[in-house]
Amino acid sequence: MTIKQSELTKRPPPPEEGGVKSEVICLVGSVKQEKDWRTWIAKLTSKGYVVFGAGLYGTVEKGVSRETWDLVSRVHWRKIDLSDVVAVIRKKDGTVGADTQMDVKYAISKGKRVVYVEDLIKGLTS
């Protein structure tokens, strides 16, 4: 496949010239709240951040095998490894579940900055 020079000029500028931030954010929280995850991914991405979200929404109870769930969880921790900031999505009642608490403890053990996602977005708009 050959790309013509004229086609290259129609593309957006490279990331370093186009407003892409250097910080990488990994979201953690209840994957039962898929709509919230997608909302926060869109908000942060539209601010220029690289955002890691959940790789799978649902739970073992909803037909995902334990083996698959464990693999996805390990992949998610790798996303935490690659991130600069871990942003927590709270449940509707303001709490976080046991799995999210494990994610936060893991992030802290790796020296990651951990914030609540709504506080992070406030900081980006102020």
- Could you name the CATH architecture of 19-125? 3-Layer(aba) Sandwich (3.40)
Structure tokens at 27: 């979201």
Round to whole Å and give the CA distance between 96 and 29.
7
Q: What does pTM read for this prediction?
A: 0.80
46-53: average pLDDT: 91
Q: How does pLDDT run across 87-119, given as a tens digit for each residue?
A: 999 999 999 999 899 999 999 999 999 999 988
For 41-61, letters b (16+ CB in 10 Å) and e give bebbeeeebbbbbbeebeeee
Q: Which residues pair with 27 in a beta bridge?
A: 87
Domain definitions of the chain by residue range: 19-125
Sheet with 50-52: strands ordered across: 50-52, 24-29, 85-89, 113-116
For residue 25, pLDDT over 60 is answered with: yes
Higher pLDDT, 3 or 28: 28
3-state secondary structure (DSSP) of residue 28: strand
